[in-house]
Amino acid sequence: MFSRFLASLSIPLAASRAYLPGHVWQLSLVAGFAVQLLLILFVTLTGLDQLDATERHMQNVTEESMRKLELSKTMGFLARERTMNLFMVMHTADPFERDAIYLHFEQLANKFVGVRREFLKLPLTPTEHRLLEEQRRLSRIAVPYQEEAIALAMAGNKAGAGAILLDQAIPAQNAVLETLAELDGATHQSTQEAIREARSAHDSARLQMYALSGMALLIGIVVAVVVVRLIGRAGREREHMATHDALTGLPNRLLLMGRLEQAIARAQRQNLMIGVMFIDLDRFKLVNDTLGHAAGDELIRQVAARLSRIVRSDDIVARLGGDEFIVVVSDADKVGQIIHVVDKVVESIGQPYRIGDREFFTSASIGIGIYPHDGADTDDLLKNADTAMYHAKELGRNRYQLFDTEMNIKVAQRLELETDMRYGIERGEFRPYYQPQINLSTHRIQVVEVLMRWQHPTRGTLLPAIYLDLLEDTGCIVEVGRKLLREACRQCVSWQAAGQAGLAIAVNLSSKEFWQEDLCQTVAATLAETTLSPQSLHFELTESILMLDIDQAVDKIKELKRIGVRLAVDDFGTGYSSLAHLKHFPVDTLKIDRYFVKDIDRQSTDAAITQAILALSESLGLETVIEGVESMAQLNILHDIGCDIVQGFLFSEPVPGEAMSALFERDWAAEIAQDRPAGTA
């Protein structure tokens, strides 16, 4: 019973703590203590009031009992006094004195009646009621004899009066006195019993008051113990929350720094090494953008669980926030032990993940700092591991990189470049350049691809390879890409108005741009603003973007197709299982990567592969564009195997918009025919 009572106290308190914010539930505990103190005060006051009531009752009972005892004795005294007056009336010769005695005799009778009435008003026991009734009956018998004896005595007949007095009046009065004596004894006994009962009730009330006060105190102690335990648990939980990541339960930066300092101190004493891995998931933002933040959180939890299973008990796994993790390999004798753990981390993270009914892959870029070579304290080790991680990303992601001192120079350069980039966006230094796609059948420029170039004020024109990843990582690609889209659409409308009927513009979409929720609304608004026909706008997407989430990518493509724009798969053939997944995407064009073109005039296999892709595209009803054409030898082979649209430096490098007029005016048919071997069409 007592355990259930404790449970009934702890459950509501625990529940209130679970559902209320910290400061609110602390106020609730204070309120609970106040209520508990009020309860103790209430119980104590109630007990004292009950004790006071029983004490007053005992006093009343005592007073009533003593009053009954006093009245019963008075009745006996008055009855005996009347008996004495009877004898005095009989033996007094003086008539005046006899009248006075008789008058006193009557007064005693009146007093007796008055006392008896007072007695009847008090609480009486059945015995007392019976004895009073008996006294009344006997008095009715004795009084006539007394009056008759007195009347004879008053008339001078002393002999007759004495005979009646001795034979009848005195025996009857003695019976009354005996009854009154018995009444006095009964009253005395009932008085004692009433006092005992009142005293017992008083003692019982006192015990109850002590019991209630003790129970209230016990409840207060129990509540205090429960609350103190809950406060202690809440304190431990707050401490845990302050030192651990809420999503994964791993140590956070605060706890990591403390444990890493301990590991460094231990390694210094034992002359051992420590490996610090800075792990960043590749393209994690795309997971959040495509699958939602709930899926991103679940991915983080699964990665944390995998890392925790890999390491030893003395090693450390921590989460810094977002998709960044730290793994500390302690007490290593040589670098090979650290690299062995790194390999296990790479392999584990690369295994497929299942979230809900979806299965997908991810990878990680890992930077490694080693104590004591890459830093003697926690700050240097983490900073250098972070630097190595960024270098791993620059090398193409899904890899690990050991730190070297030259990386700090590259990080400083990257920071400088990022600062310049943000100022460059504000100053409009990112400008569109254009490269034509030539239709070999019509010998006309069919599509113009818009490419981004950064006109740096001191470094000149920068190629996308230098800054494109930086734009992606910082999220600035969305702002720059939308501005590029508007300018390209306006430029295309201008060229069409100048006589280039049917000309289309091709715009590359980055991953972050493609997965923006408002992409379709932005495209529709841009077309309406620039008055460009939707059929004149082509978007180029890489396979890696589409493969992140095939179902959602298909839905997004269908939305764009409903607007009326055309879609092309860029760099086709170098990504994932292209042929296996091509059927999923309702695209219009395949752009065959330059990888298959660069050696096509020297390796027959490249020509065979390219011809197979062309046949596949034709069977699927898709257009094909060949990228990277740089020589007439390449062009002639592509022409011979049936390629229609080509693009590359052979025709033009990307140029500013004003330079495109000269390209539109060139006689492409004559230039191509001039360089083709004799006897070819």
3-state percent breakdown (helix, strand, coil) of the chain, nearest 5: 65, 15, 20
Question: At 440, which CATH number?
Answer: 3.20.20.450
Q: Which residue has the higher pLDDT, 237 or 481?
A: 481
| β-strands 623-626, 316-321 pairing | unpaired
Q: Which two tokens stand for residue 69?
A: 């005892």
Answer whether 236's CB lies under 8 Å from 244's CB: no
CA distances from 641 to 229, 379, 596, 625 (A): 82, 60, 13, 13
pLDDT value of residue 24: 55
Q: How far is CA 295 from CA 122, 247, 289, 495, in A?
A: 88, 13, 10, 45
- Report if residue 243 sits inside a domain: no
The H or E element containing residue 355 is strand 353-355
At 633-654, the pLDDT tens digits run 889 888 888 888 999 999 999 9
State CA 122 to chain mean position distance. 73
Same domain, 218 and 263: no
The pLDDT assigned to 18 comes to 41
Tell which of 210, 238, 266 closes a domain. Answer: 238
The angle subtended at Cα 666 by Cα 661 and Cα 667, nearest 5°, is 155
Share of the chain above pLDDT 90, in %: 29
- Pair (557, 445) in one structural domain: yes
- Using CB atoms within 10 Å of the CB of residue 568, give its burial: 0 to 12 exposed, 13 to 18 middle, 19+ buried: buried
Q: Reduced to 3 states, what is the DSSP secondary structure of residue 367?
A: strand
Are 520 and 654 within one domain? yes
Closest CA to 76 of 116, 103, 117, 122: 116
Greater model confidence, 443 or 82: 443
Nearest CA among 650, 647, 652, 621 for reference residue 633: 650
Assess if residue 544 is contained within a domain: yes
Residue 626 in any domain: the answer is yes
For residue 490, count other CB atoms closer than 10 A to its CB: 18
Each residue's pLDDT tens digit, 584-641: 778 889 888 888 888 888 888 888 888 888 888 888 888 999 999 999 988 988 888 8
What is the rounded CA–CA span in Å between residue 461 and residue 428? 13
Per-residue pLDDT of 7-65, as tens digits, reads 444 434 444 444 445 555 556 566 666 766 777 777 777 767 776 777 777 777 777 77
- Rounded CA separation 163/152 (Å): 10
Q: Do 103 and 66 have their domain in common?
A: yes
Residues 561 and 637 occupy one common structural domain: yes
Single-letter residue type at 377: D
513: exposed, middle or buried (C-beta count within 10 Å: 0-12, 13-18, 19+)?
A: buried
Write the pLDDT tens digit of every residue in 127-152. 888 888 888 888 788 788 777 777 77
**Token pair belonging to 461:** 């024109």
**CA-CA distances (angstroms) from residue 642 to 441, 493, 610, 614, 617?**
10, 31, 10, 8, 12
- 434 confidence band (pLDDT: 50, 70, 90): very high
Alpha-helical (H) ranges within 278-377 are 284-291, 293-310, 335-349
- Please tell me what DSSP assigns to residue 165: I
Domain range for 147 is 2-238
Question: How is residue 166 annotated by DSSP?
Answer: I
Which residue type sits at 214?
A: G
Q: According to the model, what pLDDT value does residue 555 have?
A: 87
Q: Are residues 397 and 506 in the same domain?
A: no
Q: Where is the domain boundary, 238, 268, 291?
A: 238
> Would 415 be classed as within a structural domain?
no
Q: Which long-range contacts (CB under 8 A, 24 or more apart) does 593-597 make?
A: 593/627, 593/628, 594/627, 594/628, 594/648, 595/628, 597/626, 597/627, 597/628, 597/629, 597/634, 597/638, 597/648
Are 233 and 291 within one domain?
A: no
Regarding whether 126 and 74 lie in a shared domain, the answer is: yes
* Domain contains 499: yes
CA atoms within 13 A on the CB side of 502: 6
For residue 290, being part of any structural domain is answered with yes
Residue 7 lies in a domain: yes
* Residue 326: predicted pLDDT: 94
Is the same domain home to 376 and 507? no
- Tell which phi-psi region holds residue 293, choosing left (phi > 0), alpha (psi between -120 and 50) or beta: alpha
Residue 595 within a domain: yes
